[in-house]
Amino acid sequence: MATSGAARVSRAEIHAWRLALLGAFLLLWETATRRGWVDPFFVSQPTVLAAQIYDWVRSGFIVRHLVVTLQETVLGFLLGTLLGVAVGFAFAQWEKLALVFDPLMVALNAMPRVVLAPLFILWFGLGLVSKVVMVISLVFFVVFFSTYTGIREVDRDLVNNARILGANPRHLIRHVLLPSALTWIFSSLRTSVGFALIGAVVGEYLGSHEGMGYVISYAESMFNATGVLAGLLVLMAAVIAIDVGLRRLDARFSYWKAVPK
Amino acid sequence: MRRSRRVRRHFHPFERGPACCFGGHPPNDVAPGPAWSLARSYNCRAASHTVARNAVLNASGRLVTRDDRTGRIVLEHVTQRFALPREDREFTAVQDVSFDVRGGEFVSIVGPSGCGKSTLLALVAGLAPVTEGRISLDGQPVDGVNPRLGFVFQRDALFPWKTVAQNVGLPLLFRGVAEAAAAPRVAEWIARIGLTGFERYHPHQLSGGMRKRVALAMTMVYEPEIVLMDEPFGALDVQTRNLMENDLLEIWAQLRRTVVFVTHDLEEAIALSDRIVVMTASPGRVKAVYPIGLPRPRSVTEIRFHPDFGRLYETIWKDLKDEVRLGYERSRQGLAG
């Protein structure tokens, strides 16, 4: 109700604007490279990119590498989330644990994980394990901190009410703490999925023989701008698809929240 | 509310009997046993059931009140202090408070804001340990949260991720009542509060008054012997509030549970209570205790026109107003905490 009727824009109109802008950008890009204003060697060309992606998909080349990357992402993401929720819960439950390990957590989180990637590769090899560890190291902290806050921020009245209504500690976790923390966990999940993919790709980029990071890194070493950009586009599509899925999941688990109007 | 009354009649052929609300079981399913005698075990909820239903059976249509001794609260020299770590001093919330509440009595605590009324309730509920003094329920000292007790919070502490029916059924689930036994009790209480048809709604879909009713049903569904209410209707508009107060009086008249009702609204306190405890400004002490001899059953909207009402109001307000002024001045100086 805050916005007046005149200021409100219909969904269709927004979509139309977005498409128009995208089209204009692609057209400009294509024209600029065809007319020789910009050298396509450096920035590639939309039509060439489309042909490259089509070729990759048809030959199954990209599917193989995408599957490898997604495997690492999903595996690392699941393990990292599980670990993050578990440790977050433990820290919220036992204050002493939180107090003792707080500096360690902050220090570990402050470490740039990307720089650690070569070490992970050294320790765990060129294959799947080093990438999964890399993903875990990124996802864990995001999920851990939001779970920890989520449980700490639980409404005290709700906890007291549950206690008076006869809840035992197990009930409290199942019916109060977990549902209340779920919102926080879910809002962090979307961030951590992005991190997970970044972790996997960076890991591959720095040392592997398959996966999207490898594809991009290989194209780069050949000075193949089309290969790099096409790889990035495929990754982008994957992230968007996952994000849409997670948003739906979030809506399912947060059905009880008021719909903002 | 008209709707809830109609539904309840359907559930209870024994209208207005003191025990007609015990989960809608027919009274003849009471197993004879040692718990039949009125010398009841205070710890056993099952026994309390039996005795209450027994009372109805014996009455054969006549009203029999509950055993007055159960649900008795005694506060002896209760003092509560909180450490204020930042200021390196202690804050005394309540000081040397002594009074007792008889079983089945409706007692209100009034006092200026910040006088420790809510603290006192939390102490009776066992949510926090008492610094000094003693609180006992039916002779047993309060030691942690007591399952015989119900608490209606100032903000309705409903579980937002649960539906109306799940919220009302939650205490039964916590108490290990089987689904089959719990469902009719939940349905009965939802009918009593006039929310039949709203079972599958989530709290955010309900109005403030409806949420308050769900909170009330959630507390009453497990039949606590003592119900503590911390300014439960403070956030409601006047009309809804009066309806809720009348509902509360009706439920109380039928169940005859001990009610301790904290409010800053003297009119509300007089309209509802048997006795009023007036507290001083912080640190809260008992300033005076007033019996309210107004006739029952009462309607909160009509009892205000009773000739004694104004007189009571005037007398108690004389006591209260100095404290309110003091509390206000202190809070302005930032001393009241």
- pLDDT-derived band at A141 (thresholds 50, 70, 90) equals very high
Range of the domain at B16: 2-59
Q: Are residues A131 and A214 in the same domain?
A: yes
Q: Are residues B43 and B130 in the same domain?
A: no
- Note whether A37 contacts B: Cβ–Cβ < 8 A: no
Q: What is the pLDDT of residue A18?
A: 94
Closest partner residue to B145 among A163, A180, A255, by Cβ? A163
β partners of residue B284: B94
Q: Are residues B10 and B116 in the same domain?
A: no
pLDDT in tens, B276-328: 999 998 788 999 999 999 998 899 889 999 999 999 999 999 988 888 888 88
Q: Are residues B25 and B80 in the same domain?
A: no
Range of the domain at A118: 42-253
Q: Are residues A25 and A79 in the same domain?
A: no
- Contacting residues of A for B170, CB less than 8 Å apart: 162, 165, 175
Is residue A154 in some structural domain?
A: yes
Q: What percent of chain B has pLDDT over 90?
A: 47
Is residue A3 in some structural domain?
A: no
Whether B40 has a pLDDT exceeding 50, the answer reads: no
pLDDT in tens, B164-210: 999 999 999 999 999 899 999 999 999 988 899 999 999 988 988 89
Q: Are residues A147 and A25 in the same domain?
A: no
- pLDDT-derived band at B334 (thresholds 50, 70, 90) equals low
Does the beta-carbon distance from B203 to A256 stay under 8 Å?
Answer: yes
CATH of the domain at B128: 3.40.50.300
Is residue A131 in some structural domain?
A: yes
Q: Tally C-beta pairs within 8 A across A and B.
A: 56
The contact set of B with A (CB < 8 A) is 125, 127, 145, 147, 149-151, 153, 155, 157, 159-162, 170-171, 173-175, 202-204, 218-219, 222
Q: What percent of chain A has pLDDT over 90?
A: 42
Whether B18 has a pLDDT exceeding 80, the answer reads: no
- Note whether A176 contacts B: Cβ–Cβ < 8 A: yes
CATH of the domain at A217: 1.10.3720.10
pLDDT in tens, B212-254: 999 999 999 999 999 999 999 988 888 889 988 998 999 999 8
CA distance A199 to A112: 11
Number of domain units in chain B: 2
Closest partner residue to A165 among B127, B202, B218, by Cβ? B218
Cβ burial of B211 (10 Å; 0-12, 13-18, 19+) is buried
pLDDT in tens, A32-86: 999 988 888 888 889 999 999 999 999 989 899 999 999 999 999 999 999 999 9
Is residue B17 in some structural domain?
A: yes
Q: Are residues A15 and A49 in the same domain?
A: no
Q: Are residues A207 and A100 in the same domain?
A: yes
Whether A236 has a pLDDT exceeding 60, the answer reads: yes
Judged by average pLDDT, the poorest of A148-152, B216-220, B265-269 is A148-152
- pLDDT-derived band at B61 (thresholds 50, 70, 90) equals very low
Is residue B40 in some structural domain?
A: yes
Q: Which tokens in the block code for residue B189?
A: 């209480």
Is residue B198 in some structural domain?
A: no
Is residue B64 in some structural domain?
A: no
Q: Are residues B52 and B90 in the same domain?
A: no
- Residue B236, helix vs strand vs coil: coil
Average pLDDT rounded to a whole number, residues A240-256: 79
Q: Are residues B25 and B97 in the same domain?
A: no
Is residue B26 in some structural domain?
A: yes
Number of domain units in chain A: 2
Whether B29 has a pLDDT exceeding 60, the answer reads: no
Mutate to test the interface with B, among A155, A165, A250, A255 (most CBs of B within 10 A): A165
Is residue A261 in some structural domain?
A: no
Q: Are residues B127 and B231 in the same domain?
A: yes
Residue A51: CB partners within 8 Å, gap ≥ 6? none
Residue B256: name the closest of B44, B32, B29, B69 by CA.
B69
Is residue A31 in some structural domain?
A: yes
Q: Are residues B260 and B323 in the same domain?
A: yes
Q: Which residue of A has its CA nearest to B203?
A: A256
Is residue A16 in some structural domain?
A: yes
Q: Are residues A16 and A90 in the same domain?
A: no
Mean residue pLDDT of chain B comes to 79
Is residue A260 in some structural domain?
A: no
> For the whole model, what pTM was predicted?
0.71
Strands (E), B105-199: 106-110, 132-137, 140-141, 149-152
- pLDDT-derived band at A255 (thresholds 50, 70, 90) equals low
Three-state secondary structure readout of A79-98: HHHHHHHHHHHHHHHCHHHH
Q: What is the pLDDT of residue B45?
A: 37
Is residue B97 in some structural domain?
A: yes
